Structure 1
Amino acid sequence: MIRPSSSDGRPFGLTVGTLSPGTVLSCDPQATLGEAIAKMRRANSSSVVIVVANKPVGIVTEHDLLSLPATTAAALSEPVATQMSAPVHTISVHATPQSAIVRMRDRGVRHLVTIDADGCLVGIISQTDLIRHVGDKKPFIANDVADAVRQSTVFAHKDIRVWELRQRMHSEKCDSAIISGFAEDLPAELKTGIITERDILRHLATEHENLTAGDIATRPVKFIRQDMNLDDARNMMMRDNFRHLVVHNHHDETIGVLSFADLLEFIEQDYLVHLSSLAEDGGSELTKARQSLALANKLIENSPDCVMICNAQSEIEAVNPAFTRVTGYQAEEVIGKTPSILKSGRQSKEFYDKLWADLARTGKWEGEIWNRRKSGEIYAEWLSIMAVRDGEGNVTHYASIFTDISGREKNREDVLRIAFTDELTGMPNRRRFSELLSLHIGRARRVGRPLSIAMLDIDNFQRVNNALGHSTGDDVLVEVARRISRELGHDAVVARVGADEFAAILPHVKTEQEAVNIAEKLLSRLDEAHQTRKGEDVYLSASVGIASFPEDANDTSNIIRCAELAMAQAKEKTKEQGRNRVGLYSVNLHSQKGADLALETALRRAIDNQELHLVYQPQFDAKTGDITGVEALLRWTTAEGKTIPPSTFVPVAEEMGVIGELGRWVIRTACDQLIAWRQEGLFNLGLAVNVSVQQFYGSMDFADQLRAILVEKGVAAERLEIEVTESLFMRNIDDMRTKLQRLRNLGVRIALDDFGTGFSSLSYLRTLPFDVIKLDRSFVRDIEDGPDGATLPITIINMARNLGKTCVAEGVENEKQLEVLRNAGCDLIQGYLLGQPMPASQVSELAKAKNARTS
């Protein structure tokens, strides 16, 4: 049992404030849901708290995101205030962990926001924090996994669409799903995948209708047996940073998933047995209280929450001082009366009928209700009612505990105002603009007249912020908003819909040309100098896109999209035709966007259709000319025979979030080829594979994935080389050092690709576990410029040698480059001069021919 005393090995005075992390992820209500999700994804966090004046007013968690509609694009662009859970469930930083456990259970939540005495945000405590700091391990040690595992798990086939899986997980109240349907000839840990709320979060921004569970499932999974000791399972979860473990029975059949939520529920039940909390079976304490009113008064008078005890006939028997403070009624004014004395009239008869029905069925009710103070003021409260029963099960009392949340309601009103208004300019924001546009379209449809909308984006506004500071930039934006409003007049609806983007509804414009004339006049007005407070002149240009109802689109979302496409076209025009361009929507613009979507869809099918393949570029010993290894390069040839270059589809794969799956396919295929070469007698051939930075931040550690593939394929780790680029170190350098060292511990070699084109910190080069430095082709090309051009590549080669690293020169295309590199002591040569990318069979022929000449 969990007790805050030294008897269970925990220090006296342990509070949730000491358990919760030192930092908490937060955002303001006006941020879009997409921005909030991006924050959560970057911080690898399960929640983000929405704050106003440093007070929490809402929260968005991974679980909340499961309930998003099938098509998420519109929801992601809405203010987070419209999607958050509110009011947020809070707890004092001075509360005990036990009270946090009970409150999580009562509220049905996995997070509690911690606040100080003023109600200001301090931090957040999650199930994970409570599990990590359980002092008494007896409930775990004395039980097996089978005692705690949740068997009501979502099981789904890999072909189910992700949005359908999301909705199943939400409706069945599961935080994970087990995915099957993968090839039967795979090892057990690869035949099954798992998808958690964290995986859903990671892919939400790029999710589309055809994304399947198989596309995002984590494999291999971590299996445990149902007879494993529960404490051992808990230790494994904390040590390996797993929040979910798939559980097998004695027949190696999957029976469910063990999660932190299950562990918390398990210890909570054990704790509640000890606590005998009033919330569960308040009969014991309150029966004693009835026998001794003095004891009842002592129990409730010091509570900071309002407490009201009623008998079975709903007559008030006792209240505490907090009740008087909130309602204004003294105890003698309400004792003997019913709680209807507080009734505000805001709730209907149906509301109270349901309240009493729930209370009769479950013994408790909780929710928000509006009541009236003695002064007549109506206020909001959060009310919990518990039925207290005697030993025979008869209701003897009702215990009500409530908290004044009128301040929260005021905050909620502020939140809604903020949610629909741009704070800087006072204009409607994107959400409000969409609503107003819907109203105008409905009106235009009824009277049979057209309307136009214009989307305006200031060109290169970031330069103003960078040069003059964000404060001056904000002043300029306010002036821009003022000029737009004045120029378009009262008939137009003008909104700020992005950082430097504005939108306008032009309800009385009848023709495209009229809209263009208005836009050009507006651009001319904006082209005039904007004077800062310091007297500096700032000159701006902008791009405007125009779309019309009903000619271009007949609903809100589509007409906005059309105008945005036209605005993008206008920005393209500035490159050729100069500043201040106006673009008109045409169907051709949609065709281009359709092509982008088609590329995404085609890429998802490319692996299954075997359109992706590998070619291999040899690497040669600079001194002997022998082939020492190859670099695997990914290629895509569509079913129609069209070749799509990696520079086109790899960024798309990264944006879609499928680069992890693609990368695993590349490594597996490359390992298969290593085995084939080994069977041909090419035992010493090494193979290099490029790895994206995203592969290091998947839901499963990349080193674990690689180890599983090497075991599955039976490939020696020393034959494999992992190539990474310097962009990898723009993140947490210490974290990346750990990740690379885990790879190194497997026995694989690590190469730094394109050296000199990115991060290039020599101190990190010395301390990070690299084996190989690849000299970028741009430096090799500079050798053509004579001695000065050769200085830098020669310096890098010498540095690599002094650090004990192998140096590979990429892009070697002529004899002069080869001679300079060889004389400088470069170890390996790669380039079209000696061997271009080729099929695996050609590598075999080339290697055998080389061997024949040297034997």
Structure 2
Amino acid sequence: MPDQVAVLDAHGAIAAANHAWRAQFAGAAAGGYGGLDYMTICGQTMAAAGDAEAAYAGIQSVLAGCAPGFQMEYAMAGSPQRWFSMAVTPLAYGCQGLVVAHSEITERRQAEADLRVAAIAFESPEGMLVTNADGVIMRVNQAFCAITGYAPDEVVGRCPSMLSSGRHDAAFYKDMWATIGSKGAWEGEIWNRRKNGEVYPERLSIAAVADGADRVTHYVASLSDITVSKAANDEIKSLAFFDPLTRLPNRRLLLDRLRQALAASAANGRYGALMFIDLDNFKTLNDTLGHNIGDLLLQQAAGRLHGSLRQGDTVARLGGDEFVVLVEGMSGHVREAAAQTETLAGKILAALNEPYQLGIHECRSTPSIGATLFHDGRPGTPEDVLKQADIAMYQAKQSGRNGMRFFDQGMQDSLSARARLEGEMRLALERGQFELYFQPQVDQHGCPTGAEALLRWIRPDGQSVPPSSFIPLAEETGLIVPLGRWVLEQACSRLHAWQSDAATSGLVLAINVSARQFQQPGFCGEVHEMVKRHGCNPACLKIELTEGMLLENIEETISSMRALKEIGVRFSLDDFGTGYSSLQYLKRLPLDQLKIDKSFVHDLATDSNDQAIVLTIIAMARSLKLDVIAEGVETEAQRALLERLGCHRYQGYLFGRPMTAPAFQAQLTRKAA
């Protein structure tokens, strides 16, 4: 038998062990294993103290009958590092004690590490190198060899410091590694030395690769030779690539940057935007007050444009009163990129509408802005992009000046529809067009335990607006805060009504709370006040939070959750498994429940991967002593499999679609009958 197996008695002492176990743990049990406390072995052989503590907790839980079993993976102390899995199961037929089996999984862990490394697009056109956690080079790609002149066998096993040019002091590298340690990555320009001794400028990015326990296992660096671009910058300065009046890039430099932006957009899949800006009635001001005053206006307008942009964006002067703004690295989705462009244009409009002090003259000037997006190599040339923005600018002038228009009419229509929907949503909130629907949550016997409150927008004509249309917009515009407040108010009112009926008094009502609403300074007090005012039992109110909230203001989130837990409010982590859940934070959160996302439930009956994920979530919930519920349960086969896996609470169409409060009450009545 290749596994190392030991039998423990009811006190955790070793009663028996097979040959493989005795060989593996001979050093830790040199005096004989009989009667030896098993946790002594774990403490001596596990590399991390936290692993030994987790093993102790798991074994004690099984011995106490609190868990049907326990599994974990750990690194064994010593070098080279070896990994093992531990599986703990109780003895059968009522015998006191348990069986502990260890299996070596070093090869699998190494394979997983290799996959993580490979996932960072190793064979990139840029130079790439991978080191282990100690900074020893393990692998380089062909581009690295072409840039540095070194062959792979000349660098593997050595440290990247062999490339050092000597131009950077120790403080530079100390700051670099401090940034990598705190943020997980560093990017910048650096001087390095090729094999032939030539020193060259390099664009370098370094990222740390961590395992599932957030331990750094590798570092991946990408580098590109920027000698040519450095030389180009020198050429730009010498050839006067800047407008002498405003010191902004001129047309030639703009077209060069736009050409690079088009190539970058095609490579990274992100949209870019070009805005053509013309100052309205500039000629009149120039003719009446003189060219000197006109030049002052152009200089001040240039400063305001520059101040409105992000670092890395470009504002250029083409000549006369024409300016161009180039924005890169926007969203990869056209509607979001259009919205980002519209937001920036609004900021520019506001800045250029402020009065100008031009000598003794106070003047006002307005801009007309034409915008166009580029993406995936279209439009094909910088001239085409510039032409589209120019046409859009004239559309803005024809529409009354002092505004912005997109070249693409379909995009303009989309933004107009978005603005119209936002206005309608504000009116809908004022006019009471929103309604709460309720989807049942049940136990393994199909008995209702509560419901999730879901927001619905019903227009006066009876048409329903899909939540997927208005919820994201509410998040973007901030309307989610008053909407969420309304939902909370209605939920407390509904709980009060349920409490007056014996059939519903014990039901728990779950509501979704956005990160923006939860992080409002007075949110906890608001919940407390509503619960008290409606006289509802706070233990029947369950707030569902998303995994994304764990990444933002974690300490404030924990503090707010604890404050609400003190008055009895429950918490469920929604869509669990689809986001980034740091286990370090997860165990600190005062949660009551994990909610298995419907994406794992949909193919559960046929997909072994989904089954493994669900089983892992259930095991994690048990280890954290949390309840678990699955959403999106549509078939009996899904429900039955969930029950076999250990999940006993469900939500989905199998038990009822979202319905109005009267319909929900009627369903409860039928069930009771």
TM-score band by shorter chain is: 0.3 to 0.5
